[in-house]
Amino acid sequence: MRIWHQGFVELESVPLYVAALARHARAVASPGTMVDLHGLRPGTYTPQGTAADLARDPALRPLGLAQVVENVVRAEREGYDAAAITIVQDIGLREARARVSIPVAGYGESAMRAAAALGERFAAVAFDAGIAEQIADEIGALGLRERALPVELVDTDYGGVVDAFERPERLAEAFAAAARRAVARGARAIVPGQTIMAEALWQHGLRSVDGVPIVDALGVTIAAAERMVRPG
């Protein structure tokens, strides 16, 4: 099985993230499944901005969305069995599904449904207030508002997340503090609010906070894509 992984970052700008993703994909994919990593075109938001800037700006976000959809169309044309869009807000997910016949999994949909299945309530933990609002909107679109607590914010920024691939301790501590606030309010599963942050935490070995599981962003999305290709 071949899965086209589609992210919302310019992969060339974050080589440590790409290396981590590649290792992680090999660890979670089923035997015989190949996961090929793809992102946005160089220059989509660099050198002036970051992927977070692109995602939060309503004037710029469509630029990224269009590329996500175009790349999923390309995946079908090139014979991939499925696509996995690893964006927690599910940017381009519904539009891509309308354009192609291959299965398309989305991180937000996969993670939030997995989190809801783990306990009575779940919470997303994000590092950007603008993106937190989009996550809340996606929770509502998935019909999970009654199962979700308000999104918690991590005391960091995009640069701090990128730095965490070399120096993860500060991000891990900040994320754990935000997750504990959600746990204190009743969360029984935690969804990392951005895939790049989820990957930094996964590489650091942070799988739970005070016994409450952290959903594996890449793992649940790849698993969902595999199930779509081979139900059961």
Domains and CATH numbers, the chain: 2-107+219-229 (3.40.50.1860), 108-216 (3.40.50.12500)
Is residue 72 within a helix (H) or strand (E), and if so which, with residue range?
helix 61-77
Which residue would you say has higher pLDDT here, 46 or 232?
A: 46
Band of residue 232 on the pLDDT scale cut at 50, 70, 90: low
Nearby residues of 170 by Cβ (< 8 Å), 6 or more positions away = 156, 160, 163, 164
Q: What is the mean pLDDT of the chain?
A: 95
How far the first Cα of the chain sits from its last, in Å, is: 15
Q: What pLDDT is attached to residue 120? A: 82
The stretch 128-140 carries a mean pLDDT of 93
Full-model pTM: 0.94
Band of residue 63 on the pLDDT scale cut at 50, 70, 90: very high
Q: What pLDDT is attached to residue 29? A: 97
